[in-house]
Amino acid sequence: MVETLTGTNRSAGLSVQELMAYDTHPVPEYLRRESPMPQGPTLVPAEVYYSREFFAKEMEQLWMHVWQMACHEDDLSNVGDHMPYDIGELSFLIVRTGPDEFKAYRNACLHRGRRLKERPGKKLHEIRCPFHAWAWNLDGSIKEIPCEWDFPGINKDDQDLPEVPVGRWGRFIFINPDPNCESFEDFLDDFPSNFELLPYEKRHKVAEVRKVLRANWKVAQDAFAESWHVFSTHPQVVWGFGDCNAQFDAFKNYSRQHNPSGAPSPHLEGIEWTPLPPSPDGVPRERHAFTGAIYERRPDGNVDVTMPNGTKGVFTQEAVWVDGDLGHADLHLCQWVAGPQVAGGLMPPPAEEESSGNGSSTNDIAERLVGIATDDQENGAIPDGSELYGQIDDDEAQAVSQPQTRDERVRATAELRARAASDMREAMRPMLGDVMDTVSDTELTGNIYFNLFPNLMPCASFGPLAIWFRFRPNGSNPEECIMEAICIAPTPEGTEPPPAPPVHVLDVDDSWTLAPEIGGLAMVMDQDTGNMPWVQKGVRSLEGGVLQLADYNEIKLRHFYKVLNEYLEREW
């Protein structure tokens, strides 16, 4: 395996910047910017994941003073539509008060504190407490106090609902519980400049899937804030997904990750194996990129694992040995082939012109590129033994290696990306029109994810579906969180965005594959979230009680904890 370039903390794999040089379309300046954090050790106390004292400090110092996404405009399509937003034990009520106006109130009756609304609703004409019927107009002004004569000590004019500041970007609605907070524009800084070609103002919400996880919200978010876990947790995608050779950048209140899809994981350096073609009879199977072992689902639901030398074993979905001479199997591949399946693997069906919520996300590009590369190799377009995808004789499991220069590998990978990008341009042209002619290969094939502090992960996508993630505490339990996958689609020119459908809520033990809205990414998310309860349990056993973050590949985590610490130490 090739790990680093001598004298740097960067992977020696093909870089985003190298591939940009061969882009067939102009690459926007924001993607050419590099803004890594300085090198240096980052140690994080493990108690940030479980301490009730730390959780209480977060609630007081962070959540009470930070801009946070509450909902989407499509959740509130009509005047009077409303939605509670809960963070920890606090609740706020977001209301559409006019055709282009939204307000946020503390979700508590000023009489005896009952929550005004427990769930989303439509077309309110007033806000009335179900307990004693105190009522307010949509703009928060007091409307009625029943038995007002019995409250001689209060002034009715002082009983308007307390508002909190509201900000809007990309048709998302943000709130800040602190009335003296910095402006929303100052908080965002230059973040919107990353989305100028296809701004989220021209997209609409098509789905939201919500699930409680048995892990702190930072355990969950941290798992999605770096990509070098891919070679271990998602070995099925390494053939066409640059993991530890991603580019990471940090700015004021956000950070960015850019994976060069189509470039193989640098961990594949010298690896002999190629991806395994799909089974003719549709039985789930996969070749492990690093061992060459073939994992295939059995009729009884277990997994046959066969090594290149013929050694075999049978394992459960959780990689528990059942039978055979082979005593160990990869947990994540066992879960991948034996767990719940989604048709098409990483490639859900294309979205219909009027999006139904299914469709390809930026995460699907890797599998498209693997397919192109495998076809090219079979047709002789990629030299045998190329470091792109290797070469193997299926009968003898022997590799034939022919050296290539780095520039040849960059050019070959850039060509694959250009072909995938060309296909995507034509697929999206009916929806987005000629703007697709100005979109670079890099934007169409890269996996570009942001962390907008503190808990939102937007992506830059020109596909039919962009999937964002949000993570927040679940009530007052520091060892549980709520994770949401929010699906956003381009809005065709000349059409109005439809109302968003209700949130699809999964049970804590449900597979993400029960949410067809997120397509094949659900299987990948099952792998990710499967790690989280064990991280939550494991950190309590850490000798020294600290997490050790990588200098470069974990820049997004380092940036997050830097900004978090600034909030926790600030005097408000």
For position 262, what pLDDT does the model report?
A: 87
- Helix residue ranges, H only, 97-206: 184-188
**Backbone CA torsion sign across 303, 308, 313, 316:** negative
Confidence at residue 397, expressed as pLDDT on a 0 to 100 scale: 34
For the segment 308-326, the average pLDDT, to the nearest whole number, is 98
Q: Are 213 and 529 in contact (CB under 8 A)?
A: yes
Residue 572 vs residue 393, higher pLDDT: 572
Cα distance between residue 558 and residue 554, in whole Å:
6
User: What's the whole-number average pLDDT of the chain?
Assistant: 89
Place of tokens 């939102």: 456
Residues 1-46: tens digit of each pLDDT: 344 444 467 898 999 999 999 999 999 999 999 999 988 778 999 9
Q: What's phi and psi for 255, nearest 5 deg?
A: -135, 165
What pLDDT score was predicted for residue 343? Answer: 63
How many CB atoms lie under 10 A from the CB of residue 420? 23
**Could you tell me if 10 and 552 are in contact, meaning their C-beta atoms sit under 8 angstroms apart?**
yes
pLDDT in tens, 388-429: 223 334 433 333 344 479 999 999 999 999 999 999 999 999
Residue 159: alpha-carbon gap to chain centroid: 41
Closest CA to 242 of 388, 407, 373: 388
Per residue in 191-212, pLDDT tens?
A: 999 999 999 999 999 999 999 9
Closest CA to 219 of 561, 569, 571, 566: 561
Query: Is 489's pLDDT higher than 50?
Result: yes
How large is the average pLDDT for residues 265-288? 91
Provide the 3-class DSSP secondary structure of residue 4.
Answer: coil
What does the pLDDT read at residue 8? 62
| pLDDT at position 222 | 98
pLDDT at 389: 29
Cβ-in-10-Å burial (0-12, 13-18, 19+) of 401 comes to: middle
Ranges of H-type helices in 47-193: 52-58, 184-188
Phi-psi region of 199 (alpha: psi -120 to 50; beta: other; left: phi over 0): beta
Summarize pLDDT for 290-315 with one digit per residue, the tens: 999 999 999 999 999 999 999 999 99
- The helix or strand, by DSSP H or E, that contains position 303, with its residue range, turns out to be strand 303-306
Domains of the chain: 68-180 (2.102.10.10), 285-340 (no CATH)
Band of residue 273 on the pLDDT scale cut at 50, 70, 90:
confident
SS3 at position 446: coil
Per-residue pLDDT tens for 132-153? Answer: 999 999 999 999 999 999 999 9
Q: Give residue-wise pLDDT tens across range 161-180.
A: 999 999 999 999 999 999 99
**For residue 463, what pLDDT is reported?**
87
d(CA 205, CA 211): 18
The whole-number average pLDDT for the span 223-241 is 95
- 45-59: pLDDT as tens digits: 999 999 999 999 999
Looking at residue 384, what is its pLDDT? 32
The percent of residues in the chain predicted with pLDDT above 90, rounded, is: 80
Q: Is the pLDDT of residue 360 over 80?
A: no
Q: Can you read off the two tokens belonging to residue 374?
A: 């495998």
- pLDDT exceeds 50 at position 350: no
Q: What percent of the chain has pLDDT over 70?
A: 88
The pLDDT tens digits for 513-539 are 999 999 999 999 999 999 999 999 999
As a whole number of angstroms, the distance between CA 259 and CA 237 comes to 12
